[in-house]
Structure 1
Amino acid sequence: MIAAVAVSGAVLAAPLPSWAQSRDADKELEDLIPDVALDNAEAWAKDTDAAKVKVPDVSTLLSPDTVPPLPDIPEITIPWPDTAEMPKIELLTPDPDIGTAEEQAKAAEEALDKVLPEGDVGRATIANAVVEKVGNQVELAFPPEAEFPEREDVVTRFGGLSSLKALDKEDDNLAQLSRRAKEDAELLQQVMRLYGYYDAQIIQSLSGFEAPAEGSDQRGPVDVNKVVVRFDLVPGPRYTLAKIDLGDVDRADIYKPGDAAMLRESFALHTGDPVNTDRIGEERLHLDLKLGRSGYAFAKVGAPHLLINHEPRTGDLTIPVTTGGRYQFGKVNSSLPEYLSSRHLQTIARFKPGEVYDRVMVDDLRQAILATGLVSSVTVQSREAAAPAGTQPGTVDLDVTMAKAPQRTIAGLIGFSSGEGVRLEASWENRNLFPPEGMLRLRGVAGTREQLAGVTFRRNNFLSRDQVLTADLYAQTQKTLAFDARTASFITTLEKQTTLIFQKPWVYSVGLQVIATSELQNASAQRNTYFIGALPLHAGYDGSNDLLDPTRGFRVSMAVSPEISVTDGRRSKYVKAQLDASYYQPVAEKVVIAARTRVGTIQGTVLENIAPSRRFYAGGGASVRGYAFQAVGPKDAEGDPIGGRSLTEFSLEARVKTGLVGGAVSVVPFVDAGTVGNGTTPTLSGMQYGVGLGVRYQTNFGPIRIDVGTPLTRRKGDPRIGVYVSLGQAF
């Protein structure tokens, strides 16, 4: 309709001359515009069908009330826009990170407005404060030490957790620095509460900004890396313990009179003591350990609960304790009786049936079983076999569950040194061929100076814990600086050992040696055959604090071996004795002085009746460092060592810890001295000296030792330096 109106209007408005046409036009044109239109165009236009249609008011076409509804189309299921209900538009919630950033930026700006120019601290601070620098951008200020003795503990704990210290190398802006300062202020409050200061005040200030230019209110540019956050700590009053509740500890007197007092004494906190969270945790562990070592096999010690009362400034401590009755040891039961029998496990245990239950001994048994190398895992479960009855303790059996480990091993070793040449060693062993713990080992050595083939039987934990029976049969050829020997030996030893798990003060060994050896002292001498029988005895006392790396205490040991030697029909009887002693003393926090002496003597016969391999020698990594093995002492015309009947050695070294590799590396300057004499009395005559420097790298199984030494009294044939590598200290 709208289109029709437009066309009609156009025709009416056009000037007549423009629409003139010939009366002889084509029929199609005359049908469209007849000749009557040419005669009276206006009359013709009014007479058309389009002119007879009523023209609506155009303004009403734009009103939604006058527009008829659109017809429905079956194929389209989406509602028309005029009938669809549009969802209500909800406003977006602000991004919390944006809000936080705005707050931090605002806080940082406020903090910046409050700080003073560089050189001033800013805001109220503690008078006569002790200032501790923690990292590059944070300082802690404390009252004088007499008023706050926990200063070092707070600094150490805060330094390990501080965000400012951990991230002080980051490229931060002022807002980030302000956020971390806020976190550290909250951290300091928590640390102070650990030591009982629940009302502590933390005063935060900043420094390190450029001062405004003279006559200007504008600050200079801010270098965040130069900003220092300072926290002044005003501890306030320290809270104390008002009540201590240890559960049913008093019931222990039912099982054994006096146990309640003993258990309370192990918890070394009392009413009136300062509230200290660390101390509470430590004393809780002490109480738990005391219960476990005093027969209370199933005792339970719960987590401590501390109720703080701010008005009287006190704390009420509650630790839920259930004693559970007192017990003694019963039987040890093995899950693998044919592999490691219950009887053998009882031999390994450091307790006997009927002794008071001790949780530490249970863990020691577990470690000792693992140390056999025959199991890959082990659990020891305590099980009630009989309940307590009044003062009569109950009985606990131990159920040992084990998983077998591989028991066969093939090993090899390849080595080279300038003094010893090439050395190849190989071995095969079955560690439980003869249960329990009966090992058979086949071994062989092929080297420049040594060749060996042997078979060894060994039974660990024989009749007693850490007691070892060994039988060794081997044939060996050995060529050293001192002698050339071809030897067949049978040696058996019963030895009480000390171990990393159970370091014993006393150790001993008793042995029997039967040896046949053909030995040549030097190329120009005659080869002699010796038949030797010996009864070597050894006893030692270890008063040091560590087996592989002692720092305090002393050790002393004595070895005596009565021997009979037959060569060329001559029978000789003599006694070989050797005394070793060492002492360890710390002289500074990171320095330990270690000293060693060794003296030996052979009494009863002349040197020629003693096989060269049985004489005393000195020199090498376990003797006088810097010299070759056996190179210290008298020599023959060819320059080869001949050994002697007496021995004297001294060693002195300083073991200095460094900060390298987390403190695992130490340097060890040392000086050694030693001599070998032809007489039977140890002497200082002919003493030879070696000096050097060593490095120790501490591992979980002891220090790895590397020593480099040089001889001070160097003779012809002696090396300029000697290098020695081993596990453990030199002595």
Structure 2
Amino acid sequence: MSAYERQMSGGTAPRRVLSHALLFALLCSTALVAASGNAAAFEIFGIKLWGSSEDEDADIVDPLRYAVTIEAPDADEDLAEKLENASALKDDEDRPVSGSLGLLAKARGDRDQLVAALYADARYEGVVIITIEGKPLDDLPPDAEFSGPQPIPVVINIATGPKFTLGDIRLEGDAAGLAGADFGLIAGGDAGSGAVLKAEASIVRALKEEGRPLAKVTEREIVADHATSTLDVTLTVAAGPVAGYGDTTVEGTEKVDRDFTEYMTGLKRGRQYSPEEVDEARDRLLGLEVFNSVTLKEADSLDADGNIPIGVEVSERKPRYFGLGGTFSNTEGLGLQGYWGHRNLFGRAEKLRIEGKISGIGSNELTELNYNAGIMFEKPGVVGPASKFFAGANTVLEHPDAYDRFSVKGNTGLSYDLDRQQTVSAEVALDYSKITDSFGKHTYLIASIPLRYVYDNRDNRLNPTTGFRALAYAEPSYDVLNGAAFVKLRGEGSAYQALDAASKFVLAERAAIGSIIGAGLQDVPADRR
């Protein structure tokens, strides 16, 4: 038992109920917040270019600097790192606090965070003692003053204690028929606070997937047995009735149409509730790119018809955006690009984007510069919330090593999300181009029907650490001017797997295959080969 726990409980006991402590541990481990003031000094990559620490201190009332030492001799390297990361005192060591009261408050909060970190690692006998100027935190009066030379010495001594494992597991109430092992609650298994609460959330989720939106844990008893270093867990769960969706109400819209936002959730009144559908609705609204944040909340009770009302809270993004950029290299010269866009053109998340790019300035003759200009339009929800209409036009003048090309192209089509992982799309396109390559000068007018299927279960599309993405693409094409017909086929896949628990190292693999069927090489435009 930590010193802090002894203070709160009034003594030690061989078995203790820890439900509130576990909840607090989860909150601490998932929401560590550090506040900082505005700094007058300017620093980049750890190098202060101008200003000084005195400039920073001027923004803080009665600035008090301190130095932290963390002593955890029993902790292995991994736990020691977790404890250091949990310490706000350590993280903010280079920033002064506001006087002695600020240091006391920060130290008390730090002790809570460190106890939470120990619980997350199943260390329920851990002891955290913090001393300031050699005096234990619990012995200091609320108005203690630290007048010694700065930085004030702060020592955090941590005795981690043994690592607990799960003991007796009991699921009661409407969860009595469920097996704890299916949710990671196994005797002898991981007893960390995060693991226990994750299992609890999984049990509730399993019941909600049966269409029970009011499923919840009604009673939680978690007892640490210090004699055996085990954690006994008893969860009582109320499943609640099966229900459908009630009314969907939207708050926070300003320029985006409120009825359209409700429509795009796809949650039809009376259809059986599904937590996965609610998640899909949130993702779909975020995918409109007109909202900074989207929150869907289920009501605490059913309506008169036995349905669950859904509340949607949104905050809007700025509708217009633009950008300018440039590149330079000694081989390709200067390149300039710019774009302008609107995310909510007519109030229903219609997107318009105009962009242009020029490259090769300085390295090529004016007649050999590369140009690219385009305009794109998207309208979501045309045939259901999961659909999107798109159209575009662009013109290209480019001079790569293999050919010279001038092209004007237009396309229009429809995409549809089958679910959160699968998307299909089809479009029609017309491309007029003049190309000079090793086969001579040619003029083409290609009519095509690009078809695409994408499966994507990556955990994060911008920075994936697990999962894979697969693409199947077919484009039947016909050259109206020359009478050539061909089909372009392509398949590709990429897979990702983290090699460590922190996902610092990720193994990524990619493979692709393609072919053109139905026409000779000289009959296919150079940019499509």
TM-score, normalised on structure 2? 0.59
Bigger Rg over Cα:
1
> C-alpha displacement at 1:471, in angstroms?
0.9
Secondary structure of residue in 2 paired with 1:366: helix
What letter is aligned with 2:290?
L
* Residues 199 and 516 of structure 1: CA distance in aligned 2, closer, same or farther (over 3 Å): closer
Secondary structure of residue in 1 paired with 2:282: helix
2:451 maps to which residue?
Answer: 537
1:357 maps to which residue?
Answer: 273
> C-alpha displacement at 1:596, in angstroms?
3.4
> C-alpha displacement at 1:323, in angstroms?
5.3
2:337 maps to which residue?
Answer: 425
1:470 maps to which residue?
Answer: 390
* Residues 282 and 606 of structure 1: CA distance in aligned 2, closer, same or farther (over 3 Å): closer
Q: 8 Å contact 1:514–1:534 — kept in the other structure?
A: yes
Query: For the residues of structure 2 that align with 1:139 and 1:511, how far apart are their CA atoms?
Result: 62
What letter is aligned with 1:445?
K
1:398 maps to which residue?
Answer: 310
Query: For the residues of structure 1 that align with 2:466 and 2:121, how far apart are their CA atoms?
Result: 34
1:557 maps to which residue?
Answer: 471
**Map of 1:252-263 to 2, 5 A cutoff?**
252=174, 260-262=176-178
Q: 8 Å contact 1:294–1:356 — kept in the other structure?
A: no
What letter is aligned with 1:600?
G
Q: 8 Å contact 2:477–2:487 — kept in the other structure?
A: yes
> C-alpha displacement at 1:560, in angstroms?
2.0
Q: 8 Å contact 1:194–1:277 — kept in the other structure?
A: yes
2:401 maps to which residue?
Answer: 481
1:460 maps to which residue?
Answer: 380
Query: For the residues of structure 2 that align with 1:428 and 1:164, how far apart are their CA atoms?
Result: 45
> C-alpha displacement at 1:544, in angstroms?
5.3
**For residues 54-88 of structure 1, what are the alpha-carbon distances to aligned partners after superposition, in whole Å with 9 as ceiling and x for unaligned?**
xxxxxxxxxxxxxxxxxxxxxxxxxxxxxxxxxxx
What letter is aligned with 1:438?
E
> C-alpha displacement at 1:243, in angstroms?
9.0
* Residues 613 and 321 of structure 1: CA distance in aligned 2, closer, same or farther (over 3 Å): closer
Match of 1:493 among 413, 416, 437: 413
* Residues 261 and 268 of structure 1: CA distance in aligned 2, closer, same or farther (over 3 Å): farther
2:256 maps to which residue?
Answer: 339
Query: For the residues of structure 2 that align with 1:526 and 1:141, how far apart are their CA atoms?
Result: 76
> C-alpha displacement at 1:454, in angstroms?
3.5
Query: For the residues of structure 1 that align with 2:396 and 2:160, how far apart are their CA atoms?
Result: 74
* Residues 348 and 425 of structure 1: CA distance in aligned 2, closer, same or farther (over 3 Å): farther
**For residues 436-480 of structure 1, what are the alpha-carbon distances to aligned partners after superposition, in whole Å with 9 as ceiling and x for unaligned?**
222233333333333244332211344345543211123332222
**For residues 322-366 of structure 1, what are the alpha-carbon distances to aligned partners after superposition, in whole Å with 9 as ceiling and x for unaligned?**
6565432234234559833545534444x5544443446435533
2:327 maps to which residue?
Answer: 415
Matched, 1:386 2:303: yes
Q: 8 Å contact 2:474–2:490 — kept in the other structure?
A: yes
Secondary structure of residue in 1 paired with 2:262: helix
Query: For the residues of structure 2 that align with 1:272 and 1:446, how far apart are their CA atoms?
Result: 64
Secondary structure of residue in 2 paired with 1:386: coil
Query: For the residues of structure 2 that align with 1:273 and 1:576, how far apart are their CA atoms?
Result: 53
Secondary structure of residue in 2 paired with 1:481: coil
Query: For the residues of structure 1 that align with 2:185 and 2:409, how far apart are their CA atoms?
Result: 64
Query: For the residues of structure 2 that align with 1:465 and 1:296, how far apart are their CA atoms?
Result: 24
* Residues 421 and 314 of structure 1: CA distance in aligned 2, closer, same or farther (over 3 Å): closer
More strand by share: 2
2:284 maps to which residue?
Answer: 368
* Residues 484 and 296 of structure 1: CA distance in aligned 2, closer, same or farther (over 3 Å): same
Q: 8 Å contact 2:73–2:159 — kept in the other structure?
A: yes
1:451 maps to which residue?
Answer: 371
1:606 maps to which residue?
Answer: 520
> C-alpha displacement at 1:604, in angstroms?
2.5
Q: 8 Å contact 1:374–1:432 — kept in the other structure?
A: yes
* Residues 520 and 136 of structure 1: CA distance in aligned 2, closer, same or farther (over 3 Å): same
**For residues 461-513 of structure 1, what are the alpha-carbon distances to aligned partners after superposition, in whole Å with 9 as ceiling and x for unaligned?**
44345543211123332222222222222111323469xxx851x33321211
What letter is aligned with 2:284?
A
Secondary structure of residue in 2 paired with 1:362: helix
Query: For the residues of structure 2 that align with 1:407 and 1:164, how far apart are their CA atoms?
Result: 41
Q: Which runs of 5+ in 2 are unaligned?
A: 1-67, 93-109, 128-155, 361-368
Query: For the residues of structure 2 that align with 1:334 and 1:471, how far apart are their CA atoms?
Result: 29
Secondary structure of residue in 1 paired with 2:286: helix
Query: For the residues of structure 1 that align with 2:261 and 2:371, how far apart are their CA atoms?
Result: 37
Q: 8 Å contact 2:478–2:486 — kept in the other structure?
A: yes
Query: For the residues of structure 2 that align with 1:355 and 1:152, how far apart are their CA atoms?
Result: 51
What letter is aligned with 1:530?
Y
**Map of 1:162-177 to 2, 5 A cutoff?**
none
Q: 8 Å contact 2:123–2:161 — kept in the other structure?
A: no
**For residues 212-271 of structure 1, what are the alpha-carbon distances to aligned partners after superposition, in whole Å with 9 as ceiling and x for unaligned?**
xxxxxxxxxxxxxxxxx99999969x8986796x7xx62x4xxxxxx6524977776589
> C-alpha displacement at 1:425, in angstroms?
2.5
1:577 maps to which residue?
Answer: 489
1:507 maps to which residue?
Answer: 423
Query: For the residues of structure 1 that align with 2:160 and 2:440, how far apart are their CA atoms?
Result: 86
What letter is aligned with 1:345?
E
**Map of 1:320-331 to 2, 5 A cutoff?**
325-331=241-247
Query: For the residues of structure 1 that align with 2:281 and 2:472, how far apart are their CA atoms?
Result: 31
Match of 1:438 among 324, 336, 350: 350
Query: For the residues of structure 2 that align with 1:574 and 1:199, how far apart are their CA atoms?
Result: 71
Q: 8 Å contact 1:266–1:286 — kept in the other structure?
A: no
Secondary structure of residue in 1 paired with 2:344: coil
What letter is aligned with 1:365?
A
What letter is aligned with 1:463?
V
Query: For the residues of structure 1 that align with 2:268 and 2:408, how far apart are their CA atoms?
Result: 43
TM-score, normalised on structure 1? 0.45
> 1 or 2 for the larger relative contact order (CA 8 Å, sep ≥6)?
2
Query: For the residues of structure 2 that align with 1:281 and 1:315, how far apart are their CA atoms?
Result: 13
Query: For the residues of structure 1 that align with 2:159 and 2:443, how far apart are their CA atoms?
Result: 85
Q: 8 Å contact 2:493–2:510 — kept in the other structure?
A: yes
**Map of 1:133-152 to 2, 5 A cutoff?**
140=73
